[in-house]
Structure 1
Amino acid sequence: MAGAVALGCIFFIGTLWYWLVEGWSWEDAAYMTVITLATVGYGETNPLGSRGRLFTIALILMGVVNIGYIVNRFTAAVIEGYFQDGLRLRQQRRVMESLSGHYIICGFSRTGRQIAKEFRAEGVAFVVVDSEIESVQRAQNEGYTIYQGDATLDDTLLKVGIERATCIVAALPSDAENLYTVLSAKTLNPAIRAIARASTEEALQKLQRGGADAVISPYITGGKRMAAAALRPQVLDFVDGILSGADRQLYMEEFLLDPAFCPFVGQTLQKAKLRSQTGALVLAIRRLDGNLIGGPTGDTILMPGDTLMCMGTAEQLRALNQVLGPINSHQVRRPKKV
């Protein structure tokens, strides 16, 4: 911009000189100024004396310097933009390739933003996928790892490491898009846990048939929570306090018992002494066949493939994780301020 303004000023000064000092017409003065600044090598429009030629030399030098400056700035902008885009793509590729055991959020609408906020509070690794440039810019401004693309396409899911991911959350606005995303994810990684958003009960059933491990309807869930807030407000506050939030003191976590590593498989809870060793409380046990045992007693036997649902402080749950051995469980996470 500054170069263009300077070039305009030089053109005005040259035209004014030839018009006032040399006595030429406006047309001849402007033409002489243009061919001088462009250094095209045309002859003089009208004869010039020594003074006029000295001014023309100065005009040529000013024009060459100014045009060189403009070309240099333009070239730098083009080259820097090219390399910055290439560097940004390489950095994004390295980040995506380094992800493992991460979570994928498809869609950065109001639901997706809340999910990302909770994931950040939990300290888990995740990447956001969205095709809208506004959503991508918003996610970048909030410091999230974002990939711009269509989450329903296999290529996009492969770019964000679907084969290495632990869980995918389909929170796109359309039920059809969420269904396509779940189908693609399950095809590319059958072991991945798929969570999907549904707007209607019919979509909920179709997503379940499509392979989604859990389907959440904001309207149904919101209605249940509102009813619970009206009927059992203290219970709801307590459950909310241990499930989400950055300032909570108690947490809930799940642990999958692997007989190859866990030394307590086949023992009773009383004999395992998990509570006395760690302070964490075992709230429930889900058997491998899906049977749920709520409030297990000391005589409950720990079986291979059991999932223990436990509650305690972050330190207690970390201690429980160490006692149970290097099993396939979620890492105990301490929320961060958001």
Structure 2
Amino acid sequence: MASVSPSSSQALKRDPKIQRDLSLGLGALGSVLLIGTLWYHWVERWPWVEAIYMTVITLTTVGFMEVEPLGNRGRLFTVALILMGVLSIGFMVNRFTETLIQGHFQEEIRRRKWRKQMEALSNHFLIGGFGRIGRQVAQEFQAEGIPFLVIDQSVDAIHAARELGYVALQGDITLDATLIEARVQQAEGLIAALPSDAENLYVVLSARTLNPRIRTIARANTEEALQKLQRAGVAHAISPYITGGKRMAAAALRPRAVDFVDGILSGRDRTFYLEEYELAAQECPYVGQTLQKADLRSRSGALIVAIRRADGQLIGGPSGDTLLQPGDLLLCMGTSEQLRQLGQLLYPLH
């Protein structure tokens, strides 16, 4: 006996029109069965059992002989009964088959699309946990055009992520098998946004074991967790409570400065952006030159706000005499076009 696929069952449950049509078909078939039975019992004066039997074999068109001889009136009614039965059954079969086919093909299309999206992932970010923090991270990545994959154990969370158009994988991100399926070896970074500090720490350690080059950012609920995550090699351990408190204080004391920083760090409708560029001796032609000689500002229009040396030294507002060294991280501000031109100047071979 044919079975109904889960996708088709879900389609039946979700689509009220399909439910209504199938209910209408069942009601029509039941009405035809009742009409035929009553006719043969009351008009033809047959016993109830024979009336029901005649109605069933007529509607199923099995080709059995008449239970008792029928006159012209009875035969005309039987013809009408067959037509009504065929229409009712045909309508039900058509709607049910359409539901099965649509459910099967839609699910297959979704699976193929998901597989292609997974296979195309490279230099992407993994977002572990699709709670309030994970959703906000995904929203910012989407606005920036950054490839990412959402991972969560909850079916509802994964469904919500896919409804928003995100590539999502249902699974336990603390397991190596899930990380491997998420192509952690090809990933650029990991956002551990699970509610548990222990789980975030475990995810970071697992990911760094599978991909030592991966950049990790983790949520921490306490200062102790911050320290443990930093000792585990997390590039950035962030506490929503501590960071939120600092931002609220800054908004109270320096509201315009906070608005400006927010405007260049996040959002879709930004005019200016902040970007960072790391200088490599083999790739950047300006390594060993001063900022004045490189003349990056007039060539691109972008402003170099700060430089972080390879040894950790931070130079804010660098002057024209500042020398560009290998491993320097330039923090730059400008429009998207200005930053694009600056990137081409710094990495002409890319």
TM-score bin (small chain): 0.7 to 0.9
Verify: 1:280 aligned to 2:302, yes or no.
Answer: yes
Residue 3 of structure 1 corresponds to 25
Which region of structure 1 is more displaced relative to structure 2, 214-223 or 118-127? 118-127
Q: 1:138 aligns with which of 121, 136, 160?
A: 160
1:251 Cα deviation (Å)?
1.5
Give the partner amino acid of 2:222: T
How far did residue 42 of structure 1 move? 6.1
Which residue pairs with 2:116 in the alignment?
A: 94
**Aligned match for 1:124, one of 142, 146, 151:** 146
* Alignment partner of 1:17 is 2:39: yes
Task: Tell me which moved more, 156-165 or 191-200.
Answer: 156-165
Q: Which residue of 1 aligns with 2:228?
A: 206
- Structure 2 residues not aligned, in runs of 5+: 1-21
Corresponding residue for 1:335?
none
SS at match of 2:194: coil
Moved more, 230-239 or 67-76: 67-76
Letter of the 1:139 partner, please give it: A
Aligned pair count reads 328
Q: Which of the residues 85, 95, 119 maps onto 1:63?
A: 85
Taking a change above 3 Å as real, the CA distance of residues 259 and 173 of structure 1, as seen in their structure-2 partners, is: same
Aligned to 1:265: 287
Q: Distance in 2 between matches of 1:49 and 1:312?
A: 94
- Distance in structure 1 (CA, Å) of the matches to 2:144 and 2:340: 14
For residues 279 and 303 of structure 1, the distance between their equivalents in structure 2, rounded to whole angstroms, comes to: 21
Matched residues in 1 for 2:51 and 2:223: separation?
Answer: 79
Q: Which residue of 1 aligns with 2:54?
A: 32
Deviations 1:121-155 (A, max 9, x none): 22222222222222223223323232333222333
What is residue 304 of structure 1 aligned with on the other side?
326
Which among 211, 214, 217 is matched to residue 192 of structure 1? 214
For 1:323, the equivalent position in structure 2 comes to 345
Deviation at 1:30, TM superposition (A): 2.8
Three-state SS of the structure 2 residue aligned to 1:78 is helix
Equivalent position to 2:191, from 162, 166, 169: 169
Return the alpha-carbon distance in structure 2 between the equivalents of residues 54 and 235 of structure 1. 89
Alignment deviations for residues 301-327 of structure 1 (CA, whole Å, 9 cap, x no partner): 211111111112222212211111247
Unmatched runs of 5 consecutive residues or more in structure 1: 329-338
Identity of aligned residues (%): 62
Q: Is 2:261 aligned against 1:239?
A: yes
Q: CA separation in 2, counterparts of 1:146 and 1:122?
A: 18
> In structure 2, how many angstroms separate the alpha carbons of the residues matched to 1:101 and 1:125?
8
Aligned to 1:229: 251
Q: CA deviation at 1:231?
A: 2.4
Q: 1:84 to 1:186 in 2, by over 3 A?
A: same
- Whole-angstrom CA distance in 2 between matches of 1:240 and 1:283: 16
Q: Which TM-score applies when normalising by structure 2? A: 0.84
RCO higher in structure (CA 8 A, sep ≥6): 1
Q: Please tell me the root mean square deviation across aligned C-alpha atoms, in Å.
A: 2.5
Q: Is 1:85 aligned to residue 107 of structure 2? A: yes
Give 2:59's aligned amino acid: L
TM-score of the aligned structures, taking structure 1 as reference length: 0.87
Match of 1:149 among 157, 171, 183: 171
| SS of match in other structure, 1:144 | coil
Q: For 1:64 and 1:173, locate their aligned partners in 2 and report how far apart those are by CA, in whole Å.
A: 58
1:285 counterpart SS class = strand
1:327/1:180 CA distance change after superposition, 3 Å: farther
> Could you tell me whether the CA contact under 8 Å between 1:105 and 1:170 is conserved in 2?
yes
